[in-house]
Amino acid sequence: MVKIFIDPGHGGTDPGAVGNGLQEKNLTLQISTRIRDMLVNEFNDVSVLMSRTGDQTLSLTQRTNAANAWGADFLLSVHINAGGGTGYEDFIYPGVGAPTTTYQNLIHEEIMKLVNFRDRGKKTANFHMLRESNMPALLTENGFIDNAEDAAKLKSASFIENIARGHVNGMVRSFGLTRKTSTVYHTVVSGDTVYSLSQRYGSTVQQIRDWNNLDSNYTIVVGQVLLVAGGPSSLTNATKAAQGNLQTDSIVDYLNSINKDSTYANREKLAKQHGINNYSGTAAQNTQLLNKLRK
């Protein structure tokens, strides 16, 4: 069991950096909560403890004491920058070696794959959260709240989602986490009627038949569109297929719901294909792309 301690920076009477209608304490809690939920809900053998789950006031000492007392394997402290710059950077304590440097490299790499922030590099600093923790620790600075361009991105739910996913992907690589058994949906076509079947990853054709009461009249191709030779009468456990997640306003969630690549690079490619030029991941552009893909 890997024990990961997540520290949303600031909170309570300490708002952290403020700018462009945003407060650092709120953004760090949003990002950290999504990181926790992704890790716990999607991966095996990982336990997460957060220094705060609401708008509490905590000292730096209280945070590192909690991580040390819990015996965390890794500490992640999430922050938003200020001071007139732009982009993403992260910090480890000066002079530490592997595995801390390895974790920094992997998490930095995965975040930069998903967010279109300027890469400010991997750095070291004598920060309390890094110095007083007994385990490998990383502090991330996710954009500049006082930079209008960075702030516009931080106001986007899909951008926050990508920041969180980048952190998670880096920790998955760092600790060799394995994904939980998931449920995916494949399309079943019978004439003009579209249905969906629930299929577990790694399942066999026979398992799919058993779970859905399908007889040998149905031709099933695992991992592809499922073509049925019979009619819908014997498709007793099937339900009407959704055309992606129609409830979400997040382009990332929508692309994931239709099993498409949701990384920034692919969204930029899709935007160009749909006539959205100079895509930079703004909330307005993501909404425009989402609407085009749903047509």
Integer Cα distance of 287 and 35 in angstroms: 23
Report in angstroms the alpha-carbon separations of 115 from 46, 78, 154, 156, 221.
Answer: 25, 15, 11, 12, 35
Are 23 and 13 in contact by the 8 Å Cβ rule? The answer is no
Q: What is the largest CA-CA distance in the chain?
A: 68
Burial state string for 168-206 with b = 16 or more CB within 10 A and e = fewer than 16: bbbbbbbbebeeeeeeebbebebeeeebbbebeeebeee
Which of 24, 89, 110, 141 does the annotation list as catalytic?
141
For the question of residue 141 being annotated catalytic, the response is: yes
CA 237, distance to chain mean position in Å, is 31
**Which token pair is 229?**
């030779």
Q: Would you tell me the crossing angle of helices 264-273 and 283-294 to the nearest 10 degrees?
A: 60
- Known catalytic residues? 141
